[in-house]
Amino acid sequence: GENVEQHPSTLSVQEGDSAVIKCTYSDSASNYFPWYKQELGKGPQLIIDIRSNVGEKKDQRIAVTLNKTAKHFSLHITETQPEDSAVYFCAATNRDDKIIFGKGTRLHILP
Amino acid sequence: NAGVMQNPRHLVRRRGQEARLRCSPVKGHSHVYWYRQLPEEGLKFMVYLQKENIIDESGMPKERFSAEFPKEGPSILRIQQVVRGDSAAYFCASSPQRGPGTDTQYFGPGTRLTVL
């Protein structure tokens, strides 16, 4: 079945710097890759997603890239701010349209 | 527009009791998913339902757990005879449609179940 690996598990960056979170997936049939942000005590919130027919998508300070050949995709956050501190989850659909989540990256923005 | 609603937000049960978790999807969404999250871990799929139908329950334990999504009212995740290992955050998500590459899911705030 689909396996989604996410790295790193913890990431600390200085405020204003960029943060990059990387994920790999195993199911070549995967065609939808959402990213979720989860703040303490809250549910995951969709922040950006990408479908397999595009290689890159950007929304203000957030961008996602997808390399289908290598089966990996990445989240890039530029000009990080304190409110970016949270746990971020990548995910990928498997051939049954089920969303499989990575284990999460805890992002700390340092003042 | 109201998002996904879940209640209660926190639930405490003693071993052997029943837990009922409720989820009201986004208005107009007919697909509901339940996930379980253990501390410091990602979300694990449990069950996918449409109105009055269980589509995929492959992630749900065979015993003590059940789910429903009636024609009227919220989706219910029911855990009978709870054990300490059931302590977790349970999240519900909904989507307007399902199909290859169309499955954008919106999550509720979760129910945190504690079993004493």
Contacts of A51 in chain B (CB under 8 A): 101
- Would the pLDDT of B54 be above 90? yes
> Tens of pLDDT along A84-108?
999 999 999 877 778 889 999 999 9
Collapsing DSSP to helix, strand or coil, B82 comes out as: coil
Does the beta carbon of B10 lie under 8 angstroms from any beta carbon of chain A?
no
For the residues B14-30, what does the mean pLDDT come to?
95
Peptide bond into B8 cis (omega under 30): yes
Q: Would you write out chain A's pLDDT as a tens digit for each of its 111 residues? A: 778 999 999 999 999 999 999 999 998 888 889 999 999 888 999 999 998 777 899 999 999 999 999 999 999 999 999 999 999 999 998 777 788 899 999 999 999
* DSSP 8-state secondary structure symbol assigned to residue A40: T
Quick one: pLDDT at residue A51?
87
For the residues B61-81, what does the mean pLDDT come to?
95
Contact between residue A22 and residue A11 where contact means Cβ atoms under 8 Å apart: no
Average pLDDT over chain B reads 91
Rg (CA), chain A: 13
Please say whether the dihedral angle defined by the alpha carbons of residues B69, B75, B81 and B85, taken in this order, is positive or negative.
Answer: positive
Does the beta carbon of A32 lie under 8 angstroms from any beta carbon of chain B?
yes
- What is the identity of the amino acid at B5? M
Contacts of A36 in chain B (CB under 8 A): 107
Q: Write out residues 40-79 of B within 8 Å (CB-CB) of A.
A: 40-45, 48, 56
